[in-house]
Amino acid sequence: MSLEPFLAVFVITQYRRHLKMDGLLTKWNKYLNIGYYIAIAIFIFGVSFDHGEKLTTVISHLFFLGVVVCPYYIEDLRSGKQLAFALIPYAIAGLIQDVLEKWFPTFYDNHDNMIQSLVVFSLIWAFSLWLISRKQTKALENERKQRFAEQEQNRMMAAMKVNLESEVRERTAELTKQTEELQLALSELKSTQAQLIQSEKMASLGELTAGIAHEIQNPLNFVNNFSEVSIELLEELKDEVLDKLPDDVKEDAGDIINDITQNLSKINQHGKRADAIVKGMLQHSRATTGKKEPTDINALADEYLRLSYHGLRAKDKSFNAGMKTNFAPDLGKVEAIPQDLGRVLLNLFNNSFYSVSEKKRTLGEGYEPTVTVNTQKVRSPSGVNMVQITVEDNGTGIPQKVLDKIYQPFFTTKPTGQGTGLGLSMSYDIITKGHGGELKVETAEGEFARFVICIPVGNVTQS
């Protein structure tokens, strides 16, 4: 019995392994099983029937040869071509040997050595190619494993790269956030420092103002009191003594008494005005409590407008300016810090009067310096009701190149010694932080400057 059925089973098993690696086993599994059955049937037939040995031998060789050459005709079995190339010479040599031995014994006996050599050579050929194939297969397997290891390493490196990039982005975002927080803290620290400086200056100024006001208050009280007493005495003189005088001097004495009475009335009138100014100075110098209270915005604006004007008049007798007011009668009272809001208004009024006085000094006659103050209720673009205070002057205006700097601490457009650069900075903080409002500016250089204060109306109470 020849070995071809067993070799056929071996070759079919190798095909099965290649098809499984290529993912094609399901498609060809039925045909591979049929090949197994045929090989087993040939083996059983050859063992069971001795008289059919010749036919069994030929069928066995032909079946084995057919199995071996399949990779050359079936595309899915192309990975088994190397195995077929190794076994085809042996299949042909074995077929020739058995055919000559069974049907041409004389020829076989005469050429026995040559035929045996051919068979042996085919076996050596098959074994050599099998060794080479095995070595190549191992090399390919090692290369595949190495390539897989490299791919895995590259995948791990890519994953590590993604993780590192993510960590770098997170760290960068964290550092950026910390930088912004530090910058914000530094800005708030600078603002606080400026406010402390301004508070110290205002405290010192308040103490000085309070001292001066108290000193003025005493003689001013004497002036007001004695002017009132003098008017009363003149009235008594006019009622009791004037009628007793001779007729030739009675008229002249009456005229003199009337003139003195009018003069004393003027003294008393302006004395009371001075008294109101002194009281305003005392109120302005009083330390702020930081607590909001119902405040009459119209009265506050009018009081500080006149306080600013007379303060500048006291410094410069030649100074003069027109004042226009347009106060909303239904404004009511607003919950505000009156001392702080008064300081804001005083700063704005002082700046406006300074601006118009500078323009007056430049233009001279023909120019009428005017400061206008308006109050009204408005609605912001976001729908919030606001109380709006507008301070406008027709002075020199603010240059556009410095417009963005006017709220910065220690920035001033006034000559050295005439401004600290803290007024608008303090005013901006009082309105925005202390009252939750807005302080905006509109200006045209050489024409006008308009400051607009807006305070939320949520705390407004009707008068």
In the chain, the N- to C-terminal Cα span, in Å, equals: 128
Enumerate the β-bridge partners of residue 376: 388
Give me the mean pLDDT over the 84-106 stretch. Answer: 76
**Per-residue confidence at 53, pLDDT binned at 50, 70, 90?**
low
Tens digits of residue pLDDT in 325-336:
999 888 878 888
At 463 the pLDDT is: 43
Top pLDDT among 60 and 168 is at: 168
Give me the mean pLDDT over the 100-121 stretch. Answer: 76
Residue 144 has pLDDT above 70, yes or no: yes
At 211 the pLDDT is: 66
Give me the mean pLDDT over the 181-201 stretch. Answer: 78
Residue 230 has pLDDT above 60, yes or no: yes
Residue 265 has pLDDT above 50, yes or no: yes
Residue 136 has pLDDT above 80, yes or no: no
CA 138 – CA 184 distance, rounded (Å): 68
Percent of the chain exceeding pLDDT 70 equals 85
Q: Record the tokens describing residue 451, joined without a space.
A: 């400051």
At 452 the pLDDT is: 92
Tens digits of residue pLDDT in 362-398:
887 888 899 999 999 888 777 777 889 999 999 888 8
Q: Which of 260, 268, 225 is nearest to 242 (CA)?
A: 260
- Kindly report the three-state secondary structure assignment for every residue of the chain: CCCHHHHHHHHHHHHHHHHHHHCCHHHHHHHHHHHHHHHHHHHHHHHHCHHHHHHHHHHHHHHHHHHHHHHHCCHHHHHHHHHHHHHHHHHHHHHHHHHHHHHCHHHHHHCHHHHHHHHHHHHHHHHHHHHHHHHHHHHHHHHHHHHHHHHHHHHHHHHHHHHHHHHHHHHHHHHHHHHHHHHHHHHHHHHHHHHHHHHHHHHHHHHHHHHHHHHHHHHHHHHHHHHHHHHHHHHHHHHHCHHHCCHHHHHHHHHHHHHHHHHHHHHHHHHHHHHHHHHHHHHHHCCCCCCCEEEEHHHHHHHHHHHHHHHHHHHCCCCCCEEEEECCCCCCEEEECHHHHHHHHHHHHHHHHHHHHHHHHHHCCCCCCEEEEEEEEEECCCCCEEEEEEEEECCCCCCHHHHHHCCCCCCCCCCCCCCCCCHHHHHHHHHHHHCCCEEEEEEECCCEEEEEEEEEHHHEECC
Q: Which range is least confidently modeled, 137-151, 179-193, 292-306?
A: 137-151
Tens digits of residue pLDDT in 338-352:
888 888 898 888 888
Top-ranked range on mean pLDDT: pick from 69-73, 253-257, 314-318, 379-383:
69-73
Residue 2 has pLDDT above 80, yes or no: no
Residue 252 has pLDDT above 50, yes or no: yes
Top pLDDT among 286 and 98 is at: 98
Residue 118 has pLDDT above 80, yes or no: no
Tens digits of residue pLDDT in 391-435:
999 988 888 877 777 777 665 666 554 555 567 777 888 888 878
C-beta of residue 249 within 8 angstroms of C-beta of residue 241: no
CATH class given for the domain over 321-463: alpha beta
What's at 25, amino acid-wise?
A: L
Angle of helix 338-363 relative to helix 247-285, nearest 10 degrees, comes to 120
Torsion angles phi and psi, residue 279, rounded to 5: -65, -35
At 390 the pLDDT is: 93
Residue 98 has pLDDT above 80, yes or no: no
Q: Record the tokens describing residue 361, joined without a space.
A: 């000094």
Q: Which of 272, 292, 291, 269 is nearest to 280 (CA)?
A: 272
Q: Which range is least confidently modeled, 210-219, 268-277, 392-401?
A: 210-219
- What are the residues whose beta carbons fall under 8 Å from the beta carbon of 103, sequence distance 6 or more? 54
Mean pLDDT of all residues in the chain? 79
What's at 309, amino acid-wise?
A: Y
C-beta of residue 373 within 8 angstroms of C-beta of residue 324: yes
Q: Which range is least confidently modeled, 224-228, 267-271, 357-361, 421-425?
A: 421-425
CA 395 – CA 445 distance, rounded (Å): 9
**Per-residue confidence at 221, pLDDT binned at 50, 70, 90?**
confident
Give me the mean pLDDT over the 99-116 stretch. Answer: 75
The structural domains of the chain, with segments of one domain joined by +, span 4-157, 321-463
At 207 the pLDDT is: 62
What's at 56, amino acid-wise?
A: T
Top-ranked range on mean pLDDT: pick from 31-45, 52-66, 97-111, 200-214:
31-45
For residue 274, the Cα-to-chain-centroid distance in whole angstroms is 55
Residue 165 has pLDDT above 80, yes or no: yes
Give me the mean pLDDT over the 214-242 stretch. Answer: 77
